[in-house]
Structure 1
Amino acid sequence: MANPVLIAKAAAMVLSNEKIRKGVGWIVVAILSPIFVFVAILCGMLSGAANHNNSALDLCFHGGEIAEDVPEDYREHIKAMRDSFAVIDGIVNELNAKMENGDSLDPIQIKAVFYSLYFGADQPSAVDSRKFADCFVTFEERTRTVTTEDGTTKEETYTIPVPIKDLSVVYQNINTALGITATYEDMANATEIYYRIAYGTATPLEDDSTTGWEGWKYQLSEEELENLYHDLPAGENGSEIVKLAMSRLGDPYSQEKRGQGSYTDCSYLTMWCYKQFGISLPGTAAEQGRYCFNNSLTIAKEDLLPGDLVFWSHKPNGRFMNITHVGIYAGDGKVIDASYSKGVVVYRDLFDSDKQVLYGRPLVKE
C-alpha cells in the first residue's frame, strides 16, 4: 500500500517547486483520493498542462529518463515499479499466448491495479507477480482432438487461461491470493490511472448508460404535474423534495458545468434539492451512497417513499459500491434524475432494477 510519509513528503515538495510539481504531480495525485485525482486531471486538461500531468505516470508505464530534480526516494520507487512492470508484461504475454477465441488480457489494466496497490511500497518487486497476474484469469479445462505420430487421433485434455471481465472478482482474487484488501480509493485510483494511460483522459465520474427502457419525459403537462402532486403525501418534506426536482425537468446535463446556470448532473440535482432543507450531501453519487450507508440512512426498496434516493451501479468504477448514478424517487414507481444518456433532467420509470444497489433517506438526518 502507498506510504503516507512518502505522500506527505512528496506533497510538500510538489507544492514548493513548480518544475517538480509538473514532473511528479501525477505520482502524488494517483495515490490520493479519487475526487482529488479527478479534479487534478480536469484542471490539467483545462489549463493545457495535461502533458505535464501525464509525465510521471509515463515514466513508469512507458519508460524514459527520470529528471534530475526528482527526489532519490521517488526515483527508486519509479525504478522498482518499472522492474515489476517488466515482469508482469512477460507473464501477461505468456498467458495471452495460451488463450483462445481472440481472448487476451489488457496489460495496462493489470499494471494500473498493481500501481495503485503497490506504488510507494518498500519492495514491490517482492510481490509474487505470477500470483498477481493469475488473479485476472480463471483456468478452464478443455478437450481437443490431436493426431499422434502413427496417424491415429485421440482426445486430450488441456487447460487454458480465460480473462475475468468483472473487476470485483479480480479484487476478491487479489485478497485471497496475496492478502491485500483493496479499498474503494485503491480501486478508483486504478481506474483513473487506466483511463489516463489507455485513453489520455479521466474516467467519467457518473453515468446512467442503459438500454431497454422507454417512456422517459423531460416535460409534463399541467394535468400530469397536478396528478403527480396530488398523489404525494401532504406536508411531507419528501414530497417537497420531489417538487423541487420536478422544477428542474429539462435542465441540461453537464458534469463540468453543473451549478452554472441551469446545468446539473445526477448528484448535483440531489445535492441541490436536499440543500433547500439544510441537508448537505457530498458531491458525487458514490459519496452520497457512502454518506447514507455510514449514517444508517439506508432503507429497503419496498420502503421507498417520495424524496428518497435510489443508487445504481452501471459499470465498475472503483468508487463506493461501484455507484455511478443517483436519482430521486417520485412515488408510483417513478424517478427523477439528471440523465447522462439523455442529456437532461428526466421523469421516468424506476429503471434497471438489476443495477439498483442502494436506497437512502437522508431526510431522517435533519
Structure 2
Amino acid sequence: MSDPTTIGLIAKAAISALSDERLRKGIGWTISAIMSPFILIIVIICGLLSGTANHNNTAIQLSFHGGAISENIPEEYRGQIEDMRNSFTMLEERIEEVNGQMEDGDSLDSIMVKAIFYSLYFASDQPSGVDQGKYIDCFVTYEERTRTIIDADGNEVEETYLVAVPIDTLPEVYTNIETIMGKATTYEDMANANEIYYRIKYGVPAPSEGDGFEEWGDWTHSITPEELEQLYHDLPEGENGSEIVKLAMTRLGDPYSQERRGQGNYTDCSYLTMWSYRQIGIIIPGTAAEQGRFCVNNNLTVSKEDLVPGDLVFWSHKPNGRFMNITHVGVYAGNGKVIDAAYSKGQVVYRDLFDSNKQVLYGRPHILK
C-alpha cells in the first residue's frame, strides 16, 4: 500500500513547481511548457495511488467492522466489501460450529481466520462462494476420543466421538490451505494477513523482526578474560567461521535497536550477523528472513547436529509472513552457545542455544569465501 503522506508531499511539490512564477522564469518558458504535462501526470498518478491506498484501508475496516459504505468508494470496491462481509458472516457461523466441537477451553482465533481469508480472497470472484467448511477445516485437526456415558438402561458405556483441535502453527495452516483449498499462498499473502490481523485486533501495525519476544534465560552481556580465552581456544584455527564468532563477540553488550541499527554501536539481530560476515568480505542480506532465504537458495543449509562456529541459527517465534516465518537470527559460537542481538535483553548477548523447538533453519554462508 502506498504511503498517502509521501504521495501528498510529492503532489504538493509538483503543484508548487507549476505555480511558482520565479521558478518558471528561471528554468525558461520552453522547458516549463515541456515539463508541465509530465508534472500534471505525476500529480494525477499520485492522486490515484493515494486513493487506492485509502480505499484498501477503508475496505479492510468496513469488511471487519461494518458501517455505511461511502458513495465515494468505487462501485467495484463496494461490491467486494459487501461480498467479503457476507463471507465473514458465513465464516463466523462455521467457526461457532467448530468451536462447539472443541474441549479444554480451546477455540479458533476468528480474527486470524478472517484476516487470512481476506488476504487470499479479497478482489477474487465471489469470495462468498468459497467452501467455508473446507476453509475452516484448514485450521483444525480432528481427534477421536472416548468418554463414559449412561445409556437408556442406566448402564455405563463408552462412546467414541470427534473433537476439533485448533492448529497452533500458521505454516501448517497455510500448507492445509494449499492442499485442501488448492489455493497457493505467497509470503506476501502471509505478510498481508499478519498486517491485517494486528491492525484489526490491536489497532497497531504488525511488529517486525525481533519485537515482542518472551524472556530467555541463561545469558550474559559480559564474559571474563578466562572464559573468552577458552572460547577462542576452542575455535578451529584459520576458519572463516571462527573469525565471524570473534567479530560478533566484539559487539557484546552493544545496545539493541531496529530503528537505529548501524548508527554508532546500535544493532539488531540481522544487522549483527550481516555486519560480522561483511567484515570478512561475505555479503548476506539485511534481514533475518532474507538471510534464511539466501541460505536455502544457495544450498548453504546444514543440520543442527553439524553446526560449527560461525554458522547462522534461525528462529520462528511468531508468524510474520516472511520466509519460513523467520523472526530471529544469531551466530553459533560452538559448545551449545550463541551470540545474538536480543530484543528482550536490549543488547548483544552470549548465551545457551535457546528455544530448540523454535529453531527452523541453520545456515553456513561462511563457506562462500
TM-score (norm 2): 0.77
1:28-83 deviation digits (Å, cap 9, x = unpaired) = xxxxxxxxxxxxxxxxxxxxxxxxx5x44211111123333433333322222122
Could you report, residue by residue, the CA deviation over 1:174-233 in whole angstroms, capped at 9, with x for unpaired residues? 22321123233322322222122111223333349467742x211123333333334434
The reply on whether 1:360 has 2:363 as its aligned counterpart is yes
Equivalent residue number for residue 272 of structure 1: 275
1:295 has 2:298 as partner: yes
Describe how 1:196-207 pairs up with structure 2 within 5 A. 196-207=199-210
1:100 aligns with 2:103: yes
1:221 and 1:59 map into 2 onto residues whose CA distance is 58
- Are 2:129 and 1:126 equivalent residues in the alignment? yes
Is 1:305 matched up with 2:336?
no
The match for 1:23 is 54
One-letter amino acid of the counterpart of residue 96, structure 1: N
1:75 counterpart (73, 78, 83): 78
Are the counterparts in 2 of residues 185 and 319 from structure 1 also a CA contact under 8 Å? yes
Tell me: CA distance 1:87–1:277, structure 2 relative to 1, closer, same or farther (3 Å). same
Determine if contact 2:315/2:359 at 8 Å carries over to the other structure. Answer: yes
Taking a change above 3 Å as real, the CA distance of residues 335 and 139 of structure 1, as seen in their structure-2 partners, is closer
- Within 2, Cα distance between the matches of 1:115 and 1:18? 21
- Alpha-carbon offset, residue 110 of structure 1: 0.7
2:186 matched to which residue of 1?
Answer: 183
Secondary structure of the residue that 1:357 maps to in structure 2? strand
Q: Which residue does the alignment assign to 2:333?
A: 330
| Alignment-derived partner of residue 142 in structure 2 | 139
Runs (5+) with no aligned partner, structure 2: 1-42
Greater shift after overlay, 259-268 or 98-107?
98-107
Q: Give the drift of 1:124.
A: 1.4
Aligned 8 A contact 2:120 2:185 in 1: yes
Find the residue that maps to 1:359 and give its secondary structure: strand
| 1:157 to partner: Cα distance | 4.3
Equivalent residues of 2:240, 2:367 under 8 A apart: no
Q: Check the 8 A contact 1:218/1:346 in 2, yes or no.
A: yes
In the alignment, the residues of structure 2 paired with residue 79 and residue 353 of structure 1 have an alpha-carbon distance, to the nearest angstrom, of 45
Residue 111 (structure 1) shift? 0.5
AA paired with 2:333? Answer: A
Change (3 A) 1:241 1:14: farther
**SS of residue matched to 1:348:** strand
Q: Distance in 2 between matches of 1:352 and 1:258?
A: 25
CA RMSD of aligned residues (A): 2.9
Mapped to 1, the partners of 2:154 and 2:303 lie a distance apart of 65
CA distance in structure 1 between the partners assigned to 2:105 and 2:173 by the alignment? 20
- Are residues 1:222 and 2:252 paired? no
Q: Which amino acid aligns with 1:255?
A: Q
Identity of aligned residues (%): 63
Cα displacement (A) at 1:361: 1.8
With a CA cutoff of 8 Å and minimum separation of 6, indicate the structure with the bigger relative contact order.
Answer: 1
* Deviation for aligned residue 1:156: 4.7
Give the secondary structure class of the aligned counterpart of 2:106. coil
* d(CA) in 2 for partners of 1:159, 1:14: 56
CA distance in 1: counterparts of 2:133 and 2:288, whole angstroms: 36
Change beyond 3 A, Cα 1:159–1:19:
same
Distance in 1 (CA, whole Å) between partners of 2:157 and 2:230 is 72
Query: Residue 282 of structure 1 aligns with which residue?
Result: 285
Instruction: Give the Cα–Cα distance (whole angstroms) in 2 for the partners of residues 151 and 95 of structure 1.
Output: 30
2:321 and 2:173 map into 1 onto residues whose CA distance is 12
Whole-Å Cα distance in 1 between the matches of residues 122 and 51 of structure 2?
18
Amino acid at match of 1:143: R
Partners of 1:322 and 1:18 in 2: how far apart?
A: 29
Match of 1:242 among 230, 242, 245: 245
The alpha-carbon deviation at position 125 of structure 1 amounts to 1.9
User: Which of 342, 346, 349 is 1:343 aligned to?
Assistant: 346
When the two structures are aligned, how many residues end up with a matched partner? 325
Residue by residue over 1:88-131, the C-alpha shift from the partner in whole angstroms, topping out at 9 and shown as x without a partner, is 11211222234333222221111011112112212212210111
Work out the CA distance in 2 between the residues paired with 1:155 and 1:233: 62
Q: What is residue 114 of structure 2 aligned with on the other side?
A: 111
Q: Which runs of 5+ in 1 are unaligned?
A: 1-11, 28-52
Q: Which has the larger radius of gyration?
A: 2
Task: Determine the structure 2 residue equivalent to 1:44.
Answer: none
- 1:247 CA displacement: 1.4
Preserved contact between residue 146 and residue 156 of structure 1 (Cα < 8 Å)? no
SS at match of 2:220: coil
For 2:15, the equivalent position in structure 1 comes to none
2:322 maps to which of 319, 340, 345: 319
Q: Could you tell me which amino acid in structure 1 is paired with residue 47 of structure 2?
A: S
Q: Distance in 2 between matches of 1:117 and 1:22?
A: 18
Give the whole-Å Cα distance in 1 for the aligned partners of 2:192 and 2:344: 25
Structure-1 separation of matches of 2:95 and 2:294:
39
Q: Secondary structure at the match of 2:141?
A: strand
Distance in 2 (CA, whole Å) between partners of 1:303 and 1:157 is 45
